[in-house]
């Protein structure tokens, strides 16, 4: 009885398919591990960006509310915080913010220049809020009735009869995106 020799002859390509399959599997494994790592990093970045977006949207909404709150109000000795009242704050998208402002009335002017600063530190002094602001806005309010150029021109115009008839937003800066 003769036994058949199953060993491959030297110099043939028998068994090459196994080597190619192993190389293919290793390459696919490396590509998949890189993709899984990239997906994990993207999931983490998505979460961080959503949190930052919520902070910026909260600051944006609070400044917009503060502008409308101050617009039709007679100027006082100090600029009110928004929401008004000591220790008051506004929560938007799970982020608590407060808006502080400073008001300036130029001489011989019939309007107000107001800087609004939204910050996450409730009860902080204005300088701290200004330094750590999420959103900053510079707004000019025109405090004369429509069609008036001064309190006496044309006749019948008077300063103080219409607060915030128009406004101009000169700057709207989202500090978090910049810094």
pLDDT in tens, 32-83: 888 887 777 777 777 778 888 889 999 999 999 999 989 888 887 788 888 8
State the residue for tokens 């970045």.
45
Average model confidence (pLDDT) for the chain? 83
Q: Return the bridge partners of 103, or none.
A: 114
Structure confidence by residue, pLDDT tens digits, 138-155: 999 988 888 887 777 778
Q: Assess whether pLDDT exceeds 80 at residue 168.
A: yes
Q: Which range marks the domain in which residue 89 is found?
A: 52-178
Q: Assess whether pLDDT exceeds 90 at residue 156.
A: no
Provide the number of structural domains found in the chain. Answer: 1
In the chain, what percentage of residues exceed pLDDT 90? Answer: 22
CB atoms under 10 Å from CB of 76, counted, come to 9
| Cα–Cα distance, 135 to 96 (Å, whole number) | 13
Going from the C-alpha of 120 to that of each of 39, 65, 123, 134, 135, the distances in angstroms are: 32, 15, 9, 8, 10
């Amino acid at each position: 009885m003769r036994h058949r020799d199953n060993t491959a002859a030297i110099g043939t390509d028998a068994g090459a398919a196994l080597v190619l399959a192993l190389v293919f599997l290793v390459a696919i494994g490396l590509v998949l591990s890189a993709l899984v790592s990239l997906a994990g990093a993207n999931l983490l970045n998505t979460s961080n960006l959503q949190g930052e977006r919520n902070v910026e949207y909260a600051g944006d909404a609070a400044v917009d509310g503060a502008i409308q709150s101050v617009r039709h109000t007679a100027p006082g000795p100090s600029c009110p915080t928004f929401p008004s009242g000591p220790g008051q704050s506004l929560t938007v998208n799970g982020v608590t913010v407060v808006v502080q402002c400073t008001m300036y009335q130029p001489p011989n002017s019939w309007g107000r220049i107001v800087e609004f600063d939204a910050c996450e530190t409730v009860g902080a002094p204005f300088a701290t809020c200004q330094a750590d602001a999420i959103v900053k806005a510079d707004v000019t309010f025109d405090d004369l009735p429509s069609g008036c150029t001064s309190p006496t021109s044309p006749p019948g115009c008077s300063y103080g009869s219409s607060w915030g008839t128009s406004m101009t937003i000169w700057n709207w800066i989202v500090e978090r995106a910049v810094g």
